[in-house]
């Protein structure tokens, strides 16, 4: 027959001040643990949001840079209170009913220039607030919209035509590591990515003389 011997409870020989002190120490330790868990959770969420914003930032610049390299004309206006980039590119593809568009055969003009189709295609980049309240960044081709970045309320798309031959495009967002909105806005400059793209299809209005 096996008998078990139970020791007395450790609190049985403790005084009330000792119990109060032990409870206070445990409470402080638990509070510190909860604060640490909360801080790590918020830091992880902010880091995840930062990486997501950087990936979308790079995607926007890649898309816009490709279109700008093919641009015939570039203008900037506004849409829903933010900048909208309008790019005219040659109509490289012929529409096929019920199928995939196929490359259009270029036509060489008498001036030795090359044309595609009868009219250029307009590509636009802008932020759009959707019906559910969130804001997406849109790439629209001929009026057909495609979302290339989601939840970009704090994105700033800033195209700057520096001359007839180049466009500088910058994209920035607010860092979520800062709790205050003012602090988030002040850190925007540190998240800015930009590119300067030469417009290959544009030509200066007045040729520059070549010095022998």
Residue 20 domain-assigned (yes or no): no
Residue 32: inside a domain = no
Q: Is the pLDDT of residue 208 over 60?
A: no
Residue 142 lies in a domain: yes
Range of the domain at 141: 45-198
Look at residue 38 and tell me if it is in a domain: no
- Nearest in space to 198 (alpha carbons), one of 74, 112, 115, 76: 74
Q: Using alpha carbons, select from 51, 27, 31 the residue that is nearest to residue 39.
A: 31
Q: Nearest CA to 71 among 120, 118, 144?
A: 120
Assess if residue 210 is contained within a domain. no
The count of domains in the chain is 1
pLDDT of residue 207: 44
> Is residue 103 a part of any domain in this protein?
yes
Section 125-135 average pLDDT: 88
- Residue 33 clears pLDDT 80, i.e. is over it: yes
Give dist(CA 197, CA 69) in Å, integer: 7
Contact 137, 56 (CB under 8 A): yes
The reply to whether 95 falls in a domain is yes
pLDDT the model gives residue 91: 86
- Give the pLDDT confidence score for residue 95 in this predicted structure: 78
- Domain assignment present for residue 140? The answer is yes
The pTM of the whole model exceeds 0.75: no
């Amino acid at each position: 027959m096996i008998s078990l011997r139970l020791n007395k409870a450790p609190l049985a020989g403790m005084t009330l001040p000792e119990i109060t002190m032990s409870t206070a120490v445990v409470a402080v330790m638990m509070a510190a643990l909860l604060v640490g868990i909360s801080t790590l959770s918020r830091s992880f969420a902010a880091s995840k949001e930062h990486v997501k914003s950087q990936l979308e930032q790079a995607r926007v610049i890649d898309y816009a840079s490709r279109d700008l390299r093919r641009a015939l004309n570039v203008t900037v206006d506004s849409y829903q209170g933010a900048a909208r980039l309008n790019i005219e590119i040659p109509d490289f593809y012929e529409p096929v009913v019920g199928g995939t568009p196929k490359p259009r055969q270029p036509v060489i003009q008498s001036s030795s220039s090359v044309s595609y189709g009868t009219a250029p295609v307009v590509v636009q980049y802008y932020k759009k607030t959707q019906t559910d309240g969130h804001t997406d960044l849109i790439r629209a081709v001929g009026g057909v919209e495609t979302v290339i970045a989601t939840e970009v309320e704090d994105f700033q798309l800033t195209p700057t035509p520096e001359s007839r031959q180049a466009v500088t495009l910058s994209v920035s967002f607010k860092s979520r590591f800062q709790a205050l909105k003012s602090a988030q806005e002040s850190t925007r400059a540190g998240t800015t990515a930009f590119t300067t793209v030469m417009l290959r299809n544009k030509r200066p209005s007045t040729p520059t003389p070549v010095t022998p």
